[in-house]
Structure 1
Amino acid sequence: MTANYSEDSIKTLEWQEHIRRRPGMYIGKLGDGSAPDDGIYVLFKEVFDNSIDEHMMGYGKVIDVTQTEKSITIRDYGRGVPLGKLVDVASKMNTGAKYDSKAFKKSVGLNGVGIKAVNALSSFFKIQAFRDGQAKCVEFSAGIITEEKVLDTTNQKNGTFVEFIPDESVFGVYAYQSEFLETMLRNYTYLNTGLTIVFNGQKFFSANGLVDLLNENISEEVAYPIIHIKGEDIEVAITHGSRYGEEYYSFVNGQNTSHGGTHLAAFREVLVKTIREFYKKDFDASDVRSSIVAAVSIKVEEPVFESQTKTKLGSKDMGPGAASIRNYIGDFLKVALDNFLHRNPDTADALLRRILDSEKERKAISGIQKLARERAKKANLHNRKLRDCRVHFGDKHDLAEASTLFITEGDSASGSITKSRDVNTQGVFSLKGKPLNTYGLTKKVVYENEEFNLLQAALNIEVDMEDLRYSKVVIATDADVDGMHIRLLLITFFLQFFPDLLRQGHLYILQTPLFRVRNKKKTLYCYNSDEREKAIKELGPNPEITRFKGLGEISPDEFSHFIGKDIRLDPVRITKDDVIQDLLTFYMGKNTPERQEFIIDNLRIEEDLLEEMENDADGANAVGVEEEVEHAVEA
């Protein structure tokens, strides 16, 4: 046995080889560019953060970004990387100025890892430094130097230029979504007032910081003008909207901590405490935070994040010898928010009315809420509609991020998924049929309707999103008229009562193949007509072609191919351009004549509709809320 374990078994990998073999350790998931946290955007952020750090230290007021089909260039006008260290900065692990707290006190980057990961995972990587009339350029491929040259003189302004092309041999086929890059860059301007970012010729600039961020992203009417308060290392903007849920934008040292962390938890806690003390009333925390829209940005020395991609803060203090984050935020809000409310009595009155409205609604449904909870608790012990999985989102487990709940229509579809699923990470919730149209109803219906109550309990989102049990909530319906209608009704339900599920990127639509094309040697599954035609050409004359009309027609053995490693999911997103209330009012409200006129004007004949539904199953990068509504109404 020991003969199999010898000196030859011990391998030492070069730095770039280790990154290329284990990219997830450095950038999280790979992805194809259809989700904002896919690896190609992490690569961009790692380079761009270096330019932001220069700006935060007072060097450079403009950053130029250009994105083409596959490449991205970033040019800042900071100090420029020291020429003698240019190769080391791009290719030597644990090398970087961020270890020197005098040079970078409150930086974003990964302490000498980030840009090396970008280099290793790019088929082409170029870095140029301009310093005091001199310049140096180094080019790499997969982390290996291909060219290096020094210019003794240059008329270029000081700064750094980086260009990279993510390696398709690592990422597979990918495509940038300019929308994701634009959102990321806008956030950087909100957090760095005075910074101009030029993206493909379009200028982004913010004069009012987090106030601009909220104004840009809020589509509904707000209860009062935005409260904006700032301290030395903290900035906060707060208002209340008209929808259910809580919406937060949180940042640490300019990094968008999309999964929150200790700073956001502290903010949510001390906000309630401060408001209770101001009004001298012991409000329920849920009444204070219901419908809140807020942004909080803090700066921390040597922040500790819970993952390499820095989406959740783990630090509990502000830095060496500093106060705890909770105490710092608490002391700041206690003074700044209290002063603001005293100086702005109209805002204070409007905030109080919003809290009292939430309290009134909560008390109105408290009786049925108690009964519904007891009913759900009993049902969960032997709920035939929920086939749960073993690992859940939030568990301290390597598979927690993969936890998924499929919401299916009827026992036929759920049976196929249940038999072919991964019992560790994939659960199934089966609907009885078409759910209720919840538009215009109050949250009371969540408790009165047994199916909605059981779904809420399965997800564990009654109070807030903190205890969500699944990373991905996937609507799995047939690609027909009824399936689209059910899909729309579920999206309406989540938009009405749990919009945070969409805001935080947890809701998806499952794509399943429309066709199976096979001969005696090979079987190909096709998601649209183009794929079907290619499959026919590949397999030769007279292959057997089957069109799947529903999920129940796909056998469990086949279904395992579509919900495994090659699963195709379309995220359902809310964008700043989606005026949710207007959309739901038109498509789901009681304005039947207007909707009839719309349907007549957009009517499709059966053949066109069938083709459109097939094309709709194509690998679209994401399903926008408005697109989803339109598809269902056209159907």
Structure 2
Amino acid sequence: MSNYGNDSIQSLGILGGVRAKPASIGLESHNHTFLEILGNSIDEFHAGYGSEIFISKNTDGSVTVRDFGRGVPMGKNSNGEYAYKKVFDLLWAGGKYKNNEEDGSDYKYSLGTNGVGATGSNYTSDFFTATSFKEDTIYTVRYNKGVEEVFSDEDNTGEKIGTEITWKPSEEVFRGKGEIDNDFIITTLEDQAIVNGGLKFVFFDMNTGLRTEYFYENGVSDFIKTMSNEEHVLTDVVSFSTEQKGKDNESDKDYRIKANIFFSFNRETSYKRYYHNSSWLENGGTPEDFIKNSFVYVIDKFLKENSLYNKNEKKISFDDISDSLIVVTSTYSTISLFTDQTKKKIGSDFMKQSITKWLREQLEVYFVENPNDADLILKQALVNKRSREKAEKTRLDVKKKLGGTVNNLTSRIDGFVGCKKSKNNIKPELIFVEGKSALGSTQQGRDANFQAIYALRGKILNCLKADYDKIFKNEIIIDMIKLLGCGIEVKSKHSKDLNTFDLNKLRWSKIIIITDADVDGFHIRTLILTAIYRLMPTLIEEGYIYIAESPLFTITTKKKEVFLAYNDREKDQLVSKLGNTINEIKRSKGLGENSAKMMWDTTMNPETRKLVKVMPTDVDKTLDAFELFLGDNLAGRKEYIEENLHHWIEDVVS
């Protein structure tokens, strides 16, 4: 029977309740306390006081934030009450509640307006020390798990005015998390430097001795410039600013908003970031709405007016625009618009309606006054749109081609010869050979228990130069994808949905490439490797791709002994070694002319074959080679030939 009764009702008290359930006042993590303390220092900067904030991660795991604002009020007020008790020891108490009044507050646009951040951080810490440097007096208070231990005041004999707070979140409150993560500190400071132009953040890591500064003199504009690759820039950074006054509903009181919009268009770079009262809106909200609405409306309008749409073409979407858009918004309000204490999203009907109307007007004026920029933006948006639609069509086509089961592949894929199922459940090998002429000898010379063969039908498509639409129309490539079974990896921003790669679905323990030991064979080998590199690079990175070296020369002695040479150097060494005992030197004319026994001995038998694993070492060098010899760099190829042809001519002559 339950013992629940009158004596079961307990009270944790305010301090105990906050420590037991910090989420009840919006503190979602130990890291969140850093935002609360830092936000107060940033508010001082916006009020016009202090242009530097120093942050240190201390050796005991605590964090110190020191600003050079006016110093948090900590002395006695006119009623004889100490102000620090309201700031650090009383929820819903602060000095930012009147910032929407006509006569104003010191904090017109404040990050913190709820009056719970400092107290909540104190309550949830193992220790919390706050020092206020005023002109004449230095006030210090120290708390232990939210309980005041020491308060003191002394004369200020030279310290710069401002506030310094040191605290360590309590592990017992935040489920074993007591140290604010360095990565979180760094990410936060990077963000705040962007949106608070002219405010310098200096971070000291006392554990490593590193000192790092985060500073953008012109804030967002400078940040966007660092992101834009000049080679792909379509427009310079454009900025619009406005301040407006209004209300969400008739019964509400008017409040003020401020909006700063920064954007640039770039062929390759896409970036979106929304801030409100300096806080990054991780979950977006109103700014995301007015950006999407305004850009789609204006760009669609100009596309129609300039007759740039094809007949019956669908309207542009924000995805088509954002693929080439770098946009950062920084909005402010004199009342809190955050949907909760985490400050990750805002909601405001007034802001959404008024800024959408205003931003549409600004964009229209910009397009009219900057026709060259407008032309570049419109054309790029259409390129993105049509590329996306083409990619979607390709995705559906590929899905259809690769759909269904893969049983009975032998009868459905021309040139494929399967193998028996391994008794030990070991994945078999798939061997790519050059053309059907090689299929006879390789098929006869293999071990059918674990070796399957796919004979390519001529030279395959150069996948480095072709776009995905052309690649996935190529039957040989589609057959290769089907046989491998692991799907594909696509690195196009318009074709992300084509990524179906799953290494666990690979059907083979090895993929082995065997081609003739001549120039044509090397070319085909390169094209196969290029296709794998473009569509399934993980297979190379994880070591599944091999090249089986086939002999170039067969040397027979008078005693009928047979020696194999895999290149000219090995042949010359054997000739020098065997001398007068040589009866015949025969150059290989292709895999198709090799006997089944020779194929087994040289390229099939795991005990005797020479396999070269294709490794991802020197990735950049390999990519450069692919781009040079198989890409569109015609001038580069000519230059290479001019500089290196003499080496090959000398080899031939010698």
Aligned-CA RMSD value:
4.3
Q: Which residue is equivalent to 1:12?
A: 11
- Which residue of structure 1 lines up, in the alignment, with residue 329 of structure 2? 296
In the TM superposition, residue 52 of structure 1 has moved relative to its aligned partner by: 1.0
Q: What TM-score results when the alignment is normalised by the length of structure 2?
A: 0.55
CA distance in 2, matches of 1:26, 1:433: 54
- Structure-2 change in CA distance of 1:12 and 1:355 (3 Å): same
Q: Specify whether residues 135 and 197 from structure 1 end up closer, same or farther in structure 2 by C-alpha distance, changes over 3 A only.
A: same
Secondary structure in 1 matching 2:185:
helix
SS in 1 for 2:356: helix
- 1:235 alignment partner, one of 260, 263, 286: 260
Q: Is the 8 A contact 2:44 2:69 kept in 1?
A: yes
Matches within 5 A, 1:527-546: none
Alignment map for 1:151-230 (pairs within 5 Å): 151-171=154-174, 172=176, 176-200=180-204, 201-217=211-227, 222-230=232-240
- 1:287-339 C-alpha deviation (Å, 9 max, x unpaired): 223332211111122233233211111x224xxxxxx1222222332233233
- Letter of the 2:62 counterpart: S
State the partner residue of 1:311: 344
Look up the match of 1:121.
Answer: 124
Which amino acid is 1:237 matched to?
Answer: F
- Contact kept? 1:137, 1:148, Cα under 8 Å: yes
Task: Return the offset for 1:85.
Answer: 0.7
Maintained 8 Å contact 2:128/2:166: yes
Q: Distance in 2 between matches of 1:477 and 1:73?
A: 51
Q: What SS class does the counterpart of residue 38 from structure 2 fall into?
A: helix
Query: 1:44, 1:432 → 2: CA distance?
Result: 53
Matched, 1:86 2:84: yes
How far is 1:176 from its partner?
A: 4.8
Q: 1:364 to 1:237 in 2, by over 3 A?
A: same
- Aligned counterpart, 1:338: 364
Corresponding residue for residue 272 of structure 2: 248
The whole-number CA distance in structure 1 between the counterparts of 2:355 and 2:263 is 14
1:348 aligns to 2:338 (yes or no): no
- For the 8 Å contact 2:392–2:495, the answer to whether it is kept is no
Deviation at 1:179?
Answer: 4.2
Q: What corresponds to 2:292 in structure 1?
A: 268
Matching of residues 108-147 of structure 1 within 5 Å: 108-109=111-112, 111-147=114-150
CA deviation digits over 1:82-122, x for unaligned, max 9? 22311221111111112222323321115111111211221
Counterpart residue number, 1:472: none
19 and 435 in structure 1: CA distance in 2 versus 1, 3 angstrom threshold? farther
Q: Distance in 1 between matches of 2:147 and 2:294?
A: 50
* 1:100 paired residue among 98, 101, 106: 98
Q: After TM superposition, give the deviation of residue 145 of structure 1 in Å.
A: 0.9
For residues 454-474 of structure 1, the C-alpha deviation after alignment (integer angstroms, 9 at most, x for no partner) is x9xxxxxxxxxxxxxxxxxxx
CA distance in 2, matches of 1:5, 1:444: 62
d(CA) in 1 for partners of 2:336 and 2:398? 43
TM-score between both structures, scaled by the size of structure 1: 0.56
1:25 aligns with 2:24: yes
Q: What is the match of residue 390 of structure 2?
A: 364
Give SS of 2:96's match.
helix
- How far off its partner does 1:18 sit? 1.3
Q: Count residues with an aligned counterpart.
A: 411
Out of 38, 42, 53, which is 2:32 matched to? Answer: 42
Alignment of 1:505-516 (within 5 A): none
Maintained 8 Å contact 2:200/2:215: yes
| Greater shift in the superposed pair: 175-184 or 39-48 | 175-184
Give a deviation string over 1:41-90, Cα, whole Å, max 9, x none.
Answer: 31111001011112112222222222224121111222222223112211
Whole-angstrom distance in 2 between the partners of 1:584 and 1:9: 69
Aligned equivalents of 1:108, 1:272: Cα separation in 2: 30
1:445/1:207 Cα in 2 relative to 1: closer, same or farther (>3 Å)?
closer
Q: Partners in 1 of 2:621 and 2:90 — Cα distance? A: 56
CA distance in 1, matches of 2:199, 2:111: 16
Partner Cα separation in structure 1 for residue 397 and residue 491 of structure 2: 23
8 Å CA contact 2:170, 2:177 repeated in 1: no
Counterpart CA distance in 1 for 2:504 and 2:119 is 40
Structure possessing the higher relative contact order (Cα contacts under 8 Å, 6 or more residues apart): 1
Distance 1:197 1:444, change over 3 A: closer
The structure-2 alpha-carbon separation of the partners of 1:138 and 1:78, relative to structure 1 and needing over 3 Å to count, comes to: same
Structure 2 partner of 1:72: 63
> Is residue 133–residue 152 contact of structure 1 (8 Å, CA) maintained in 2?
yes
What CA distance in whole angstroms lies between the structure 1 residues aligned with 2:280 and 2:11?
35
Percent identity over the alignment is: 24
Q: Any conservation in 2 of the 1:229–1:337 contact (CA below 8 Å)?
A: no
Task: Tell me if the contact between 1:135 and 1:154 (Cα under 8 Å) persists in the aligned partners.
Answer: no
Which residue pairs with 1:58 in the alignment? Answer: 48
Summarize the Cα distance change of 1:3–1:587 in structure 2 as closer, same or farther, 3 Å threshold. farther
User: Cα distance, 1:280 vs. partner?
Assistant: 3.8
Question: Secondary structure of the equivalent of 1:65?
Answer: strand
Q: Which residue of 2 aligns with 1:554?
A: none
Task: Name structure 2 gaps, 5 residues minimum.
Answer: 75-81, 205-210, 243-257, 310-314, 405-424, 426-481, 511-533, 539-616, 629-654
Distance 1:243 1:224, change over 3 A: closer
| Code of the aligned partner of 1:91 | D
Q: Which residue of 2 aligns with 1:624?
A: none
In the alignment, the residues of structure 2 paired with residue 136 and residue 15 of structure 1 have an alpha-carbon distance, to the nearest angstrom, of 25
**How far, CA to CA, are the matches of 1:184 and 1:495 in structure 2?**
35
Alpha-carbon distance in structure 2 between the residues aligned to 1:435 and 1:242:
32
Distance 1:355 1:19 in 2: 50
Q: How far apart in 2 are the matches of 1:175 and 1:261? A: 30
- Contact 1:226–1:237 (CA under 8 A) maintained in structure 2: no
1:442 Cα deviation after fit: 7.3
**What stretches of structure 1 of length at least 5 have no aligned partner?**
30-38, 318-323, 380-409, 411-430, 456-474, 483-491, 497-582, 595-635
- The letter for the 2-side match of 1:42 is H
Residue 328 of structure 1, aligned match among 354, 360, 380: 354
Secondary structure in 2 matching 1:231: strand
Q: For the Cα contact (< 8 Å) 2:36–2:112, is it kept in 1? A: yes
Q: Distance in 2 between matches of 1:585 and 1:265?
A: 42
SS at match of 2:320: helix
8 A contact 1:121–1:167 mirrored in 2: yes
The CA distance in 2 between the partners of 1:165 and 1:332, in whole Å, is 45
* 2: CA distance, partners of 1:162 / 1:185: 17
Separation in structure 2 between the aligned mates of residue 493 and residue 230 of structure 1, nearest angstrom: 43
Q: Which string of whole-angstrom CA distances, capped at 9 and with x for unpartnered residues, describes residues 411-438 of structure 1?
A: xxxxxxxxxxxxxxxxxxxx99874453
Change (3 A) 1:440 1:90: closer
CA contact (8 A) 2:284 2:344 kept: yes
Once the two structures are superposed, residues 526-570 of structure 1 have per-residue CA deviations (whole angstroms, 9 ceiling, x without a partner) of xxxxxxxxxxxxxxxxxxxxxxxxxxxxxxxxxxxxxxxxxxxxx
For 1:417-456, what aligned pairs fall within 5 Å after superposition? Answer: 435-439=486-490, 443=494, 446-447=497-498, 451=500
**Contact conserved, 2:238 with 2:264, CA < 8 A, in 1?**
no
